[in-house]
C-alpha cells in the first residue's frame, strides 16, 4: 500500500533523475576517495562540498516548486525555512565543539562566553543530541510555516500580497537573528564546527558521507513530492492553483490543502538547510536575506515551474553558473542572473524542461497528425 | 407550509454593497425535488442570491434554512457544499489543466479531508459512476483530454457533470446556456430535466426560449426581491413583469 503510494508518482523523468542521483552517489565517493590526488579523475574535498551545496539548493528548489508550481503560492521567503533548518543543525554542531572552543568552555558556545552569558538559554537544550536536532530541523520550519499559513490562508491572503508577507517574514527573521541577544551568534552566526556524529567535519570521508546523505535526501524528497503531486490530493492542489473558489464549492476546505503542502514544503526546505550547513561550515543571518529566497525562485523558473525535476536541474545549473561567474567575472554575475531571469520569463515561460517538452512535441509532428483521426472516430 | 418541509427557505434576506441593496428582503421557498427558474433583469440580484445561499456572501439580515433546519448564514463555502448544495457558475469553471476524467473524479462524492485524498484510489463503483456521467454528458470520447481543450458548450456540460458527480440535494445553475448554440441549448434543457427528477434545481436564466423549454415554475426577481411567481405564461401576462423586464 505504502510502496504503491510512493511509486505512483514516478514517471520517465523521475527515472532519469533518480538514475543520475544513484550514479552520483557511487561515482563521487569513488572519485574523491578511491583515486590518487594527482589523477585527472580525482575530486577534491572542495569540489565534493560544492556539489553537495548544489544538491542542497536543488532540494530547496524542489520544495519551492511544490508550493509555487502546484499550489500557485509564490513564496519569496522560502530561504527562511532553509535557514531555520540550517540553524537547528548548526546548534547541534556548536554543541559538539564542547571544550575545544577558543574559550574552552564545555557548556557554552564561544559567542555566549564572549557575551558574558553564564548558562545555556532554554531553547539550546537538547541540541547536544543529534536525534533531537534532526527532528528540530523539520519541526522548527514546519511549525513556523504552519502558524504562518494558518493565519494567511484562513484570511484568504493570496497572490502578490502573500508573496510580500513571505518576503517580510524572512526579512523579519534576518533582523531578529542579527541581534546578539537572540542567542544565535548574531552577525557571525554559528561556525568553527569540529565534528558531526563523532566524525571530523573537515575530513574528506566525512565530506563524501555528507554528500551521499544529501543525494539520498534529495531522492527521498523527490519521490515524496512526486507521490503527493500524483495523488488525488495533488490534483486538488492543482485545482486550487487554477480555480480556488470552484474547489471550495466542491466542498474542499482549500485552506487545509494549502497548509498541508506549505508545511511539507517548509520541512523539506529545513532538511536542505540542515545538510547545507555542515558542508559549507557556517550559518549566519545573511542566509535569511530576501535575495536568497528570490534566487531560489529563479532556479525554479529556469528549470521549469511545476515539473519537480526542472527546479532540481535549474538549481544545479544556475549555481554552477554562479560558481563559475563569480570566480571568472565577479562583477558580471548579478547582471547575468538578472538577465537570465528576464530571458526565461520572456522566452521560456515553462523553463528548460518546458522547452524540452515543446521540442519533443514539434519534432514528431507527423505522428500526432496521424493520431488525430483515430481520436475522432470515437466521437 | 412550514419551514420544516422545505428544502431551501429564504426569509427576509437583505444584502447591501456600499449602500447598494443587491437583495432587498428576499423570500423564496424551494420544495424537495422541485425545479425552479429564476429570471430578472440585470442587477435584479440573481447571482447575489446564489452567493448568499452558497456562503460566498454573508447576508446582512434574514434567514436561510436548508432542509428546514440548517442555518446556512453562519457556514463557509465547503461546509455548505458538503451539506449537499452544488453550484454551477455563469462562466464555465472547470479545472482546465486536468483531464475530463479527473475533473469528475475530483467532484465525485468522497471524503474531502486532505489525508483521505492523499491515500485515495478510485473504487470500482467510483469508476462506474464516472463512466455513467461521461455518458449522460456525452463527454466519453473526451475523457482523457484536458478540460481546457473542450469547446464552450462541452465545458458547460462538464460542469453540470461535475455537479452530478457531487450528487447534491440542491443544484444552483447560473445561466447554463449563455453563449450556446440552439442545438446545445436544447440538449442542455434535456440534461437539466433529467437531473431534476432526482435533485432540486434552481436555474437562473435570461434566455426565455430556454425557460419555456424547461416548463417549470418561474420566479421573477426585481431590485433584490420577488416580483412575481408562477408559470411562465402567468408571469408573462403580469403587468409589472412586463414593465420591468419582458416589455423591454
| Domain of B132, in residue numbers | 3-246
Gyration radius (Cα) of chain A, Å = 22
Dist CA A254 CA A26 (whole Å) = 42
Can you spell out the DSSP letters for B134-154?
Answer: HHHTT-GGGTTSBGGGS-HHH
Predicted-complex ipTM score: 0.89
Alpha-carbon dihedral sign for residues B106, B111, B115, B121: negative
Q: Do A256 and B166 touch (CB under 8 A)?
A: no
Position A370 pLDDT exceeds 60: no
Q: Do B114 and A256 touch (CB under 8 A)?
A: yes
Output the domain CATH number for residue B125: 3.40.50.300
Closest CA to B76 of A141, A201, A144, A154: A154
Interchain contact A235–B (C-beta under 8 A):
yes
Q: What is the pLDDT of residues A35-81, one digit of tens each?
A: 888 888 999 999 999 999 999 999 999 999 999 999 999 999 999 99
Shortest Cα distance from A261 to chain B (angstroms)? 10
Closest CA to B70 of B49, B94, B56, B53: B53
Q: Looking at the 3D structure of chain B, how many domains does it have?
A: 1
Q: What is the pLDDT of residue B60?
A: 93
What is the average per-residue pLDDT within A256-268? Answer: 97
Closest CA to B90 of B178, B187, B200, B192: B178
Q: Which residue has the higher pLDDT, A6 or B132?
A: B132
Q: What share of chain A is helix, strand, coil (3-state, %, to 5)?
A: 75, 0, 20
Position B113 pLDDT exceeds 50: yes
Dist CA A59 CA A85 (whole Å) = 13
Position B62 pLDDT exceeds 50: yes
Position A199 pLDDT exceeds 80: yes
Interchain contact A153–B (C-beta under 8 A):
no
Place of cell 526579512: A171
Residue A155: list chain B partners with CB under 8 A.
Answer: none
Q: Model confidence at A367, in pLDDT bands (50, 70, 90)? A: very low
Shortest Cα distance from B153 to chain A (angstroms)? 15
Q: Do B77 and A249 touch (CB under 8 A)?
A: yes
Place of cell 544513484: A22
Give, in order, the Cα–Cα distances in Å from B31 to each of A125, A128, A331, B45, B217.
64, 68, 74, 21, 12
Dist CA B74 CA A103 (whole Å) = 63
Number of Cβ within 10 Å of residue A121's Cβ equals 13
Chain B nearest-CA residue for A259? B114
Q: Do A231 and B107 touch (CB under 8 A)?
A: no
Interchain contact A239–B (C-beta under 8 A):
yes
Q: Model confidence at B181, in pLDDT bands (50, 70, 90)? A: confident
Q: What is the pLDDT of residue A166?
A: 97
Parallel, antiparallel or unpaired: strands B217-222 and A195-196 = unpaired
Gyration radius (Cα) of chain B, Å = 18
What are the residue ranges of helices labelled H in A72-109?
78-97
Can you spell out the DSSP letters for A112-165?
Answer: HHHTT--S--GGGTTTTSHHHHHHHHHHHHHHHHHHHHHHHHHTT--HHHHHHH
- Find the range with the poorest average confidence among A12-21, B12-21, B61-70, B187-196: B187-196
Dist CA A42 CA B25 (whole Å) = 82
Dist CA B236 CA B248 (whole Å) = 13
Position A365 pLDDT exceeds 60: no
Position A377 pLDDT exceeds 60: no
Does residue A232 contact residue A239 with C-beta atoms inside 8 Å?
no
Dist CA A266 CA A287 (whole Å) = 15
A330: its cell numbers: 565577479
Chain B nearest-CA residue for A226? B118
Share of chain A above pLDDT 90, in %: 77
**Given A247, A249, A252, which is nearest B54 (Cβ)?**
A249
Q: What is the pLDDT of residue A71?
A: 96
A219: its cell numbers: 531522492
Dist CA A237 CA A231 (whole Å) = 10
Q: Do A253 and B78 touch (CB under 8 A)?
A: yes
A193: its cell numbers: 564546527
Q: What is the pLDDT of residues B192-232, one digit of tens each?
A: 887 777 889 999 987 788 888 888 999 999 988 999 899 98
**DSSP type of residue A231:** S
Residue-wise burial string across B67-78, b where 16 or more C-beta atoms lie within 10 A, e elsewhere: beeeebbebebb
Q: Do A256 and B162 touch (CB under 8 A)?
A: no
Closest CA to B37 of B185, B239, B192: B192
Does residue A190 contact residue A94 with C-beta atoms inside 8 Å?
yes
CA angle (A318 as vertex; A314, A321 as ends), nearest 5:
145
What is the average per-residue pLDDT within A132-154? Answer: 97
**DSSP type of residue B99:** B
- Find the range with the poorest average confidence among A131-135, A194-198, B151-155: B151-155
CA angle (B175 as vertex; B174, B177 as ends), nearest 5:
140
Q: Do A250 and B106 touch (CB under 8 A)?
A: yes
Parallel, antiparallel or unpaired: strands A199-200 and A195-196 = antiparallel
Q: Model confidence at A368, in pLDDT bands (50, 70, 90)? A: very low
Residue A252: list chain B partners with CB under 8 A.
Answer: 78, 112
Residue-wise burial string across A104-120, b where 16 or more C-beta atoms lie within 10 A, e elsewhere: eeeebbbbbbeeeeeeb
Q: Which residue has the higher pLDDT, B153 or A221?
A: A221
Q: What is the pLDDT of residue A364?
A: 59
Q: What is chain B's mean pLDDT, rounded?
A: 89
Position A286 pLDDT exceeds 50: yes
Q: What is the pLDDT of residue A1?
A: 60
- Report chain B residues touching chain A, CB-CB < 8 A: 54, 56, 76-78, 81-82, 86-87, 89, 93-98, 102, 105-107, 112-114, 117-121, 140-141, 162, 166
Q: Model confidence at A366, in pLDDT bands (50, 70, 90)? A: very low
Q: What is the pLDDT of residue A373?
A: 37
Interface with A, mutate which of B47, B72, B78, B168 (most A CBs under 10 A): B78
Dist CA A127 CA A25 (whole Å) = 29
User: How many helices and strands in chain A, by DSSP H and E?
Assistant: 15, 4
Task: Please tell me whether residue B25 adopts helix, strand or coil conformation.
Answer: strand
B245: its cell numbers: 423586464
**Run of H or E residues at A230:** helix A204-230
What is the average per-residue pLDDT within A248-262? Answer: 96
Amino acid at each position: 500500500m505504502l510502496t504503491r503510494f510512493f511509486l505512483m508518482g514516478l514517471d520517465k523523468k523521475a527515472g532519469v533523475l533518480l538514475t543520475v542521483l544513484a550514479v552520483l552517489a557511487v561515482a563521487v565517493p569513488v572519485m574523491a576517495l578511491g583515486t590518487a590526488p594527482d589523477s585527472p579523475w580525482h575530486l577534491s574535498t572542495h569540489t565534493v562540498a560544492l556539489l553537495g551545496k548544489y544538491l542542497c539548493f536543488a532540494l530547496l528548489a524542489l520544495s519551492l516548486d511544490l508550493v509555487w508550481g502546484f499550489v500557485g503560492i509564490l513564496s519569496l521567503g522560502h530561504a527562511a525555512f532553509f535557514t531555520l533548518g540550517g540553524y537547528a543543525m548548526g546548534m547541534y554542531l556548536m554543541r559538539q565543539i564542547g571544550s575545544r572552543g577558543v574559550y574552552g568552555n564545555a557548556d557554552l558556545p564561544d559567542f555566549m562566553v564572549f557575551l558574558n552569558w553564564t548558562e545555556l538559554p532554554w531553547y539550546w537544550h537538547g541540541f547536544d543530541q543529534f536525534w533531537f536536532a534532526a527532528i528540530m530541523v523539520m519541526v522548527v520550519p514546519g511549525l513556523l510555516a504552519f502558524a504562518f499559513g494558518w493565519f494567511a490562508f484562513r484570511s484568504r491572503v493570496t497572490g502578490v500580497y502573500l508573496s510580500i508577507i513571505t518576503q517580510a517574514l524572512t526579512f523579519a527573521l534576518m533582523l531578529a537573528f542579527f541581534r546578539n541577544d537572540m542567542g544565535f551568534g548574531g552577525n557571525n552566526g554559528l561556525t568553527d564546527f569540529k565534528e558531526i556524529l563523532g566524525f571530523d567535519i573537515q575530513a574528506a570521508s566525512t565530506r563524501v558521507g555528507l554528500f551521499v546523505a544529501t543525494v539520498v535526501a534529495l531522492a527521498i524528497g523527490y519521490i515524496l513530492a512526486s507521490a503527493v503531486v500524483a495523488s488525488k490530493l495533488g490534483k486538488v492542489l492543482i485545482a486550487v492553483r487554477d480555480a480556488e473558489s470552484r474547489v471550495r464549492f466542491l466542498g474542499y476546505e482549500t485552506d487545509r490543502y494549502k497548509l498541508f503542502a506549505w508545511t511539507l514544503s517548509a520541512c523539506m526546505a529545513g532538511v536542505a538547510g540542515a545538510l547545507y550547513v555542515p558542508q559549507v561550515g557556517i550559518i549566519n543571518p545573511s542566509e535569511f536575506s530576501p535575495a536568497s529566497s528570490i534566487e531560489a525562485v529563479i532556479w525554479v523558473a529556469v528549470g521549469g515551474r511545476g515539473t519537480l525535476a526542472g527546479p532540481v536541474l535549474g538549481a544545479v545549473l544556475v549555481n554552477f553558473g554562479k560558481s563559475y561567474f563569480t570566480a571568472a567575472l565577479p562583477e558580471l554575475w548579478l547582471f547575468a542572473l538578472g538577465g537570465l531571469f528576464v530571458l526565461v520569463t520572456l522566452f521560456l515561460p515553462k523553463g528548460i524542461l518546458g522547452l524540452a517538452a515543446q521540442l519533443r512535441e514539434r519534432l514528431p509532428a507527423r505522428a500526432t497528425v496521424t493520431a488525430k483521426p483515430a481520436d475522432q472516430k470515437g466521437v | 407550509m412550514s419551514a420544516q418541509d422545505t428544502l431551501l427557505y429564504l426569509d427576509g434576506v437583505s444584502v447591501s454593497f456600499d449602500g447598494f441593496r443587491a437583495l432587498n428582503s428576499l423570500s423564496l421557498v424551494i420544495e424537495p425535488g422541485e425545479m425552479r427558474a429564476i429570471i430578472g433583469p440585470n442587477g435584479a440580484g440573481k447571482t447575489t442570491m446564489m452567493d448568499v445561499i452558497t456562503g460566498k456572501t454573508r447576508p446582512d439580515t434574514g434567514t436561510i434554512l436548508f432542509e428546514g433546519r440548517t442555518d446556512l448564514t453562519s457556514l463557509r463555502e465547503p461546509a455548505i457544499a458538503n451539506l449537499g448544495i452544488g453550484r454551477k457558475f455563469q462562466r464555465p469553471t472547470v479545472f482546465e489543466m486536468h483531464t475530463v476524467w479527473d475533473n469528475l473524479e475530483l467532484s465525485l462524492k468522497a471524503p474531502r479531508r486532505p489525508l483521505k485524498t492523499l491515500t485515495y484510489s478510485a473504487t470500482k463503483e467510483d469508476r462506474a459512476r464516472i463512466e455513467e456521467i461521461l455518458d449522460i454528458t456525452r463527454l466519453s470520447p473526451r475523457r482523457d483530454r484536458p478540460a481546457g481543450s473542450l469547446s464552450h458548450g462541452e465545458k458547460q456540460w462538464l460542469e453540470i457533470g461535475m455537479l452530478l458527480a457531487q450528487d447534491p440535494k440542491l443544484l444552483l445553475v447560473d445561466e447554463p446556456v449563455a453563449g450556446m448554440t440552439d442545438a446545445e441549448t436544447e440538449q442542455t434543457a434535456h440534461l437539466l430535466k433529467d437531473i431534476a427528477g432526482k435533485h432540486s434545481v434552481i436555474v437562473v436564466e435570461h434566455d426565455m426560449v430556454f425557460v419555456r423549454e424547461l416548463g417549470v415554475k418561474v420566479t421573477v426577481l426585481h431590485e433584490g426581491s420577488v416580483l412575481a411567481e408562477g408559470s411562465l405564461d402567468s408571469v408573462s401576462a403580469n403587468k409589472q413583469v412586463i414593465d420591468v423586464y419582458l416589455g423591454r
